[in-house]
Chains A and B, each alone.
Chain A
Amino acid sequence: NAGVTQTPKFQVLKTGQSMTLQCAQDMNHEYMSWYRQDPGMGLRLIHYSVGAGITDQGEVPNGYNVSRSTTEDFPLRLLSAAPSQTSVYFCASSYRPTSYEQYFGPGTRLTVT
């Protein structure tokens, strides 16, 4: 099993550009989520999904969209990139929502200039 995979590993965007961060898992996990990690702020939840076709907002959803058309994939879309979105983004999945081990992807380091 590849586990949780993310692409790209690094990305530089200009302010106002849009892009999609890809996330996939091959463990047949129902629950998937996106976090951003900023120095001194821990991991903050952006959006999550409890199954295909179901998504909801986390703690910091503004400026991001998600969709879950399949169990395996959970892409994160930045609609119009801003410097405040410079961060490391982690995708995670687990068998059930929250009360089980979260398996994290390797992360995407995004810089918005």
Chain B
Amino acid sequence: GENVEQHPSTLSVQEGDSAVIKCTYSDSASNYFPWYKQELGKRPQLIIDIRSNVGEKKDQRIAVTLNKTAKHFSLHITETQPEDSAVYFCAASSPNDYKLSFGAGTTVTVRA
């Protein structure tokens, strides 16, 4: 099955700086790559996703890039704010099965 690895496990940034989280996946057939944000004590919520026919997608201060050849994708958060402090999960799924595989998560702390 799919194996998703996520780095780093923790990330501390100064407010206003950028944050980058990287994920790799193992199944070359995977074609859907969402990112979820989970605030403390809350449920995970989708913040952005990308499909394999697209190399980059942006939504205001967040962007995701995908490199199918290298089988990795990344989340970029620019101009970080205190409300960006949360755990971020990457995930991948293949059309060959009905499973969404998650990375282990990155705890992002934005220092004021």
* Residues of chain A whose beta carbon lies under 8 Å from any beta carbon of chain B: 31, 33, 35, 40-45, 48, 50, 56, 58-59, 90, 97-99, 101-102, 104-107
Give the Cβ gap from B77 to chain A, nearest Cβ, in Å: 19
| CB–CB A40/B104 < 8 A | yes
| CB–CB A101/B46 < 8 A | yes
**Which of B13-21, B64-72, B95-103 is near enough to bind chain A?**
B95-103
For the complex, what is the distance from the CA of A10 to the CA of B93, rounded to whole Å?
30
* Residues of chain B whose beta carbon lies under 8 Å from any beta carbon of chain A: 1, 6, 9, 31-32, 34, 36, 42-46, 49, 51, 89, 91, 93, 95, 98-105
The tally of CB-CB contacts under 8 A between chains A and B is: 57
| CB–CB A104/B45 < 8 A | yes
| CB–CB A99/B89 < 8 A | no
| CB–CB A98/B46 < 8 A | no
Given contacts A101-B46, A104-B44, A105-B43, contact A42 B99 (CB under 8 A): no
Query: What are 23 A-B pairs at a CB distance below 8 A?
Result: A35-B102, A40-B9, A40-B104, A42-B89, A42-B102, A44-B102, A45-B99, A45-B101, A48-B99, A50-B98, A56-B98, A58-B99, A59-B99, A59-B101, A90-B43, A98-B93, A98-B99, A98-B100, A101-B49, A102-B36, A102-B46, A104-B44, A105-B43
For the complex, what is the distance from the CA of A59 to the CA of B98, rounded to whole Å?
12
For the complex, what is the distance from the CA of A89 to the CA of B100, rounded to whole Å?
16
| CB–CB A42/B105 < 8 A | yes
Q: Across the interface, which residues of A come within 8 angstroms of B44, CB to CB?
A: 43, 90, 102, 104
For the complex, what is the distance from the CA of A17 to the CA of B40, rounded to whole Å?
29
Q: Which of A31, A40, A99, A105 contacts B32 (CB 8 A)?
A: A99
| CB–CB A106/B99 < 8 A | no
Given contacts A102-B46, A107-B43, contact A43 B89 (CB under 8 A): yes
Q: Across the interface, which residues of B come within 8 angstroms of A56, CB to CB?
A: 98
Give the Cβ gap from B18 to chain A, nearest Cβ, in Å: 23
Residue of B nearest to A107 (CB): B43
| CB–CB A43/B102 < 8 A | yes
Q: Across the interface, which residues of A come within 8 angstroms of B98, CB to CB?
A: 31, 48, 50, 56, 97-98
